[in-house]
Chain A
Amino acid sequence: ETGVTQTPRHLVMGMTNKKSLKCEQHLGHNAMYWYKQSAKKPLELMFVYNFKEQTENNSVPSRFSPECPNSSHLFLHLHTLQPEDSALYLCASSQAPTPASGGNGRFFGPGTRLTVL
């Protein structure tokens, strides 16, 4: 148990559906992240939030919309996804967002396995 929870753990959706992924961290961290993990590809950073403010968007398509209402919660809203968006979506948190201090993800949640039909 890393202190980062994600719901749902599995999600199957059609291309016209709208769904949301939820992440909650119980570690008192200030930075939160969304990563995409696809088969045979390195982990891809999608979004970075520091103190509730988005500080990084790695050219993610607009069909993925993040929301960070407070430092403990992070959402990823999904709409009109494509089959190639099927992947494991990982949330992570860290005390510090800077790479030198070990930021960009020290504690990962278990992920949401997303399948787009």
Chain B
Amino acid sequence: GENVEQHPSTLSVQEGDSAVIKCTYSDSASNYFPWYKQELGKGPQLIIDIRSNVGEKKDQRIAVTLNKTAKHFSLHITETQPEDSAVYFCAAAGRRALTFGSGTRLQVQP
């Protein structure tokens, strides 16, 4: 089955700096890669996604890049703000199920 690895497990940045979270996947048939943000006391919320026919996608301060050859994808957050502090999950959709990474706890220091 699909295996998704996510790094780092924790990330602390200063407000205004950029944050990068990286994921690798194992199933070359995976073709859909969403990212979720989970704030305290809430369920995960989809923040951006990318399909395998696209290499990069942006939405205001967040962007996702995909390297199909290397089987890795990354989340980039620019000009971080304290409200970006949360746990971020990557996921990869393989032949059957959506497999999640183990999460990255992002702390943005004011």
A contact set with B: CB distance below 8 Å:
2, 4, 40-43, 45, 56, 58, 90, 92, 99-111
Complex A-B: 25 CB contacts under 8 Å: A4-B43, A40-B102, A41-B102, A42-B89, A42-B99, A42-B100, A42-B103, A43-B89, A45-B97, A45-B98, A56-B96, A56-B97, A92-B43, A99-B31, A99-B98, A100-B31, A100-B93, A101-B32, A103-B93, A103-B98, A104-B93, A107-B46, A108-B43, A108-B44, A109-B43
Residues of A within 8 A of B41 (CB): 110
Q: How many residues of B contact A (CB 8 A)?
A: 25
Alpha-carbon distance between A109 and B44 when the two chains are bound, in angstroms: 8
Q: A43–B49 contact, CB under 8 A?
A: no
B contact set with A: CB distance below 8 Å:
4, 30-32, 34, 36, 41-46, 49, 89, 93-103
> Which residue of chain B is the closest to A92 with respect to CB atoms?
B43
Residues of A within 8 A of B97 (CB): 45, 56, 58, 99, 104
Q: A99–B95 contact, CB under 8 A?
A: yes
Residues of A within 8 A of B49 (CB): 102
Contact of B45 among A2, A42, A102 (CB under 8 A): A2
Task: Please give 19 more A-B residue pairs, beta carbons under 8 A apart, in addition to A90-B44, A99-B97.
Answer: A2-B45, A40-B102, A42-B4, A42-B102, A43-B44, A56-B97, A99-B30, A99-B31, A99-B94, A100-B93, A102-B93, A103-B98, A106-B46, A107-B46, A108-B43, A108-B44, A110-B42, A111-B42, A111-B43
